[in-house]
Structure 1
């Protein structure tokens, strides 16, 4: 398959054309190849897709961890787990440094775990594979357990860890005596009635509604289906899924809403919930997370004081942080 054609102002829009144009007008020379955008504001829900149908699913990358924050908070609330519970009480890690890390430390990126498991060469190799559109994190669940057993913990403090995000998802699944894909369905997708949200699996063939990812160079990207790192980046969802989820965020009715509360203050301008980032400035507060895979870029944010939420997901690679935050916070 050759290169994909980037979206432009002539690309057909499904849904709210004005919402799509607000985002498309910010692109300039940046290229995206499919778009899903959902906005909830003033009691209204608006959705638009370009280059995909409303039920077309996009890889959400690390937005998966933000959703794990909901699952953790809901399981703490119902007593299934406790925030200070050690990882080794749930996963078969033996006596290793990672075994003593708490679930809260994983959710606030203060566990001391490295960004990824394995050697420096392995981390470099993953980055190269991602740039080339190959799956970067193809490990099995057992592979991730092995990485956790071998991991050396760094000094205390905030240190973003994809390995920690994966570990927490598998730990929560173990607490529920199930697999991570089943945990996602039971604790998140089913309660919110999200029709197409799922965790990609290695044996799951791409369906017609699965939007293909696109690399930096405009070529097809492999889907990210490795079960080991699935809790940190394996979720697919559509605009049809994100709309009721964003409505629940604004209504404070999503499972585990305490995930969006402050769990850790990093500095005067930034705190963390359970994986969620909370940015403060100029009298406003924005709760958000971003995500990226080999073929997709995504962003979700909530302005809780104004009861507004926004989600953007694109096939292609662009930095969404500034654009999406400005759209959400605009008058």
Structure 2
């Protein structure tokens, strides 16, 4: 009995220590509010470790909680690497916005214009799937089905075996069931296809296109599809929603839907660039990517970004979730404010949702 009590006490002490593991100095009322949200989330087992970033004009704040690996008592920091999941879609949308800004691609160009001659998608009642419909989730393409139906599908690495050949093979037999552009229906296939088509148009790989057009200009040194040795050494261990260790996800043809890994430092830099009014091609393309290209009853979407247009505020946002990570980014370009959350547990948490209401 004494051993059981001692074991229970040690387990409780370890869990309590992890919960207390933070660099939050509690110096201001807002620091204490952040702390209350983070601790409530920890009690719900929403994360193992989490980085919280806040941006406002002249202000950048980060808060670290928890551990990079369960039990190691090592606090994450702004250079700890996480998968950002579907926040990747905002980068893919930005690549499209850049080509539209340059006059190279039209938003309403049919995707058939950029597919191989051997791969053509039929129009639905004369209406084709367009490039912009891939970025705003109105293409009608399925969310995930072709991936799950692949004979080589692995639930622990769902996208690792889905190649460009498999994507094009699916499209050859695809028959649209509704008019593109008419209805929002979230699709990883659409966003992934957009990344593949943009890379094909540029005669390069999606990874190289991201590096050339976005990562290098913004100096996002720790933002990649494939981990560098340095990033791998700083990668937070991912955990599934039920707390089991999870591997990072590898992507082939559908990298544009969720393949990027990054750090809080780089995500802050990306957020600030998205709210910049500098008259450069990239910043103008970012502003273009925020503009609604579809508005429906429940969703308003730009090129990759979701938009919440209220009476007093307009927020652009996206979240991301992979097998071992969860992320969230809220931007308010008019005020220069941003909220970013990166977690190494694949479980949605409400930290960012609540912070954006008061930040």
Give the alignment's TM-score, normalised by structure 2: 0.79
Q: Distance in 1 between matches of 2:17 and 2:336?
A: 31
Task: Confirm or deny that 1:114 pairs with 2:142.
Answer: yes
Partner of 1:41: 56
Post-superposition, which runs of at least 4 consecutive aligned residues in structure 1 deviate over 6 A? 4-7, 14-17, 203-206
Partner of 2:9: none
SS at match of 1:96: coil
User: Comparing 297-306 with 235-244, which one deviates more in the overlay?
Assistant: 297-306
Partner of 2:331: 302
- Quickly say closer, same or farther: Cα 1:115–1:235, change in 2 above 3 A: same
SS at match of 1:183: helix
Aligned equivalent of 1:246, options 256, 265, 271: 271
Aligned equivalent of 2:111, options 74, 84, 87: 87
Partner of 1:29: 44
Aligned equivalent of 1:221, options 238, 246, 254: 246
Aligned partners of 1:289 and 1:301 also within 8 Å: yes
Aligned partners of 2:100 and 2:107 also within 8 Å: yes
Question: 1:151 offset after TM fit, Å?
Answer: 2.7
Per-residue displacement from partner, 1:113-166 (whole Å, max 9, x unpaired)?
1112428x628x96x82xxxx111121222222222233323132111100000
Aligned partners of 2:112 and 2:121 also within 8 Å: no
Question: 1:5 offset after TM fit, Å?
Answer: 7.0
Unaligned runs of 5+ residues in structure 2 are 1-13, 68-75
- Quickly say closer, same or farther: Cα 1:58–1:14, change in 2 above 3 A: farther
Per-residue displacement from partner, 1:90-128 (whole Å, max 9, x unpaired)?
232625326842111111111111112428x628x96x8
Q: Distance in 1 between matches of 2:145 and 2:169?
A: 9
Question: 1:177 offset after TM fit, Å?
Answer: 1.2
Q: Distance in 2 between matches of 1:117 and 1:7?
A: 42
SS at match of 1:199: coil
Unaligned runs of 5+ residues in structure 1 are none
Task: Confirm or deny that 1:136 pairs with 2:158.
Answer: yes
State the structure with more CA Rg: 2
Aligned partners of 1:189 and 1:197 also within 8 Å: yes
Aligned equivalent of 2:290, options 260, 267, 284: 260
SS at match of 2:253: coil
Partner of 2:307: 278
Q: Distance in 1 between matches of 2:145 and 2:17?
A: 36
Partner of 2:90: 66
- Quickly say closer, same or farther: Cα 1:205–1:48, change in 2 above 3 A: closer
Partner of 1:236: 261
Q: Distance in 2 between matches of 1:144 and 1:14?
A: 46
Question: 1:223 offset after TM fit, Å?
Answer: 1.1
Partner of 1:209: 234
Q: Distance in 1 between matches of 2:56 and 2:45?
A: 27
Aligned partners of 2:22 and 2:63 also within 8 Å: no
Q: Distance in 2 between matches of 1:215 and 1:154?
A: 34
Task: Confirm or deny that 1:311 pairs with 2:340.
Answer: yes
Count of matched residue positions in the alignment of Structure 1 and Structure 2? 319
Per-residue displacement from partner, 1:308-327 (whole Å, max 9, x unpaired)?
1111111113324x541321
Q: Distance in 2 between matches of 1:140 and 1:225?
A: 11
Q: Distance in 1 between matches of 2:354 and 2:119?
A: 47
Q: Distance in 1 between matches of 2:310 and 2:167?
A: 38
